[in-house]
Amino acid sequence: MELSVKVNDCKECIYRSWAFKNLSDDELKLINSRKKEKFFRKGELVCLEGDTVTSFLYLQTGLVKLYKTESNNREHIISIAKPMDFIGLLSIFSNTVHVYSITAIEDSIVCLVDLEVIKNLIKTNGVFAIDFFEKISKVADSVIKTRVDINTRQLRGRIAYILLHFSKHIYNSSKFNLPISRKEVAELIDMSTENVIRVLSEFRKDKIIQIEGKNIEILDIKRLEKIYDLG
């Protein structure tokens, strides 16, 4: 179910990415006329793998997961995207269809801009083109880096990674509410659900973290960082 949201004017939009800083007022107006802000309730699908890419997707608020559904119906999460991320990743250039499915894992607002408008601006405003490529490249580069970081570590290192990631890069707090289930954590960092639970319990017993359901508090960040560093 898509609810209507307060409509932001691009020019005044507080969620606007720095990648749009070199657009003129007229260009922002153009985007404004061809964009739509959509609200997605936690759990709602934003787009499905295989859908035709017609819009540039920008996450204003909330959190979404990017994932693929394997042939055995298991999901494999590629990335958790945060506000200001270009959540369609490189598909807008590399493909005519979305490579990943996207689902909101928290109530989220996604701004959809007609892809043709973005491509035309890239063609006509060279400085914007460079800015835009810089931003999208950074997002994609960080996806690659994360995949490698995770897969070169073993279980404890992966759990440490995900805890530090949520704490430092998403919630900026040592205390946070994990937005995904242990099963989804498992799908994100390539391990079994049982082992996710087990390692979390281990960290709890070692007083590295405190757990109350989905509420997690990092008690000993130094040790967590050490576990992450050692792999």
Partner DNA sequence: TATATATTATGATATATATCATAAGTGATA
Partner DNA sequence: TATCACTTATGATATATATCATAATATATA
Q: How far is the CB of 173 from DNA (least distance, A)?
A: 19
CA–CA gap between residue 210 and residue 180 (Å, rounded)? 17
Q: Position of tokens 């003129």?
A: 24
Nearer to a second copy, 7 or 97 (CB): 97
Query: Which entry of DNA, a second copy, none binds 126, CB below 5 to 8 A by partner kind?
Result: a second copy
User: Which candidate, 109, 108, 131, places its Cα nearest to that of 118?
Assistant: 131
Nearer to a second copy, 93 or 175 (CB): 93
Query: Which entry of DNA, a second copy, none binds 94, CB below 5 to 8 A by partner kind?
Result: a second copy
Nearer to a second copy, 147 or 204 (CB): 147
CA–CA gap between residue 77 and residue 144 (Å, rounded)? 13
Which ranges in 24-177 belong to alpha helices (H)? Answer: 25-33, 91-94, 115-124, 126-151, 155-164
Which of 77-85, 89-97, 111-119, 193-201 is the region at the interface with DNA (rule: CB under 7 A)? Answer: 193-201
Q: Do 190 and 151 contact (CB within 8 A), yes or no?
A: yes
CA–CA gap between residue 155 and residue 23 (Å, rounded)? 45
Residues lying near a second copy in the complex (CB under 8 A):
68, 70, 76, 78, 89-95, 99, 119, 122-124, 126-127, 129-130, 133-134, 136-138, 140-141, 143-145, 147-148, 151-152, 190
Residues lying near DNA in the complex (CB under 7 A):
154-156, 181-183, 190-195, 197-198, 200-201, 211, 213-214
